[in-house]
A and B are shown apart, each in its own frame.
Chain A
């Protein structure tokens, strides 16, 4: 089981390293969107500090959205997805490995670059710390939920737009609690606990259900 998971994970990471542009576009998209706001609304410290958490989180949603389309599409086009469906391995496990690779390539870089973008919004060190933590818990949820949408819209014409309409509403809870955690951290650090615990709970639920749901959706899409 673990061997198969590891095999798909390393395969997807190897593929991404041989085609680096795909990974970098997501990251640069995130950085650019976040940087546009201070340019647009001015450099007033007070305003930026209030806007910061929300803007970073919305940009993270959009960036992870952008990368979702490619999650299964490349494998669908060259027939490797079809072969995965026909192996004796549980498909949910293979899907989970693909989601894990996808998060390592598109979610984790966002977490790591968060301090840099946080500085543009004059966020305090604790706020940046909380932001990284909330992104660390929240971005895997985005990848997991997104995978269901990506599997459902696979092979459809104009699937990209449909995917955003389908998935963005489902991202709302993550956005509310993710950005909320950073906002309350300004008042009192201990207030962030419920927010982070809820994000953790989302992650657990998504981790259990999303791979199974995506696997079922893939079987429908491939017909």
Chain B
């Protein structure tokens, strides 16, 4: 479903990676590994279309993602270093905006349920700037429960999370992969994934 051919990315004069090829089928998890500065985040942003590669092509279901544009972005969920939530809005409001933008017809009860499941019961109505780092991250990760996207691109999703949240996130990812979804993630900690096909990609060698 997701194919990458001869991908090359530079930052300034430095070449991060070149001739990168891989193809991921449905129900696969790609674990991207590498030292700090080896280009993991750049690769993930390139996969989302936020960064233009210097060479090579990324195809989604056989079509170049440049050409697919909005159709590709409908299938994509990106979770970056920034949580992408507004500090002055409550968790509920943040998720409602995100759901509307994703084009999902999500109702309030579903959002309340998602926040409860992610462990934020009782914090739904607080502006998110009052929450701790980990809790903010949980608000952002609640989108994973609500979304219908098939490709998840997660950049360091486990940092700042406590043990319970890590377990929950792992189960979310494996359910997604089990259901035929794709996930690309970077993490420094080893994540035991119970099911699905796990591929590994090492950058910076």
Interface, chain A (partner B; CB < 8 A): 3-4, 7-8, 11, 14-15, 18-19, 77-80, 82-90, 94, 222-223
Contact = CB atoms under 8 A, between A and B. Distances in A.
A148 B86 CA distance: 23
B50 A223 contact: yes
A7 B86 contact: no
A15 B74 CA distance: 26
A8 B51 CA distance: 25
B43 interface: no
Contact of A86 (B76, B86, B88): B76
Nearest to A91: B70
A82 B83 contact: no
A11 B52 contact: no
Question: Is chain A's binding surface mostly helix, strand, loop or mixed?
Answer: helix
B71 interface: yes
Given A82-B78, A86-B76, A88-B71, 6 more contacts: A3-B100, A7-B100, A15-B86, A78-B83, A78-B86, A223-B51
Interface string B68-86: 0011011010101111111
A83 B84 contact: yes
Contact of A78 (B49, B70, B87, B93): B87
Contacts of A18: 88, 127
A83 B127 CA distance: 19
A101 to B, nearest CB: 13
19 contacts: A4-B100, A14-B89, A14-B93, A82-B78, A82-B80, A82-B84, A84-B101, A86-B49, A87-B101, A87-B103, A88-B70, A88-B73, A88-B102, A89-B101, A89-B103, A90-B70, A94-B101, A223-B50, A223-B51
A79 B93 CA distance: 16
A4 to B, nearest CB: 6
Contacts of A80: 84-86
Contacts of B98: 83
Contacts of A84: 101
A200 B78 CA distance: 41
B168 to A, nearest CB: 22
A3 B80 CA distance: 26
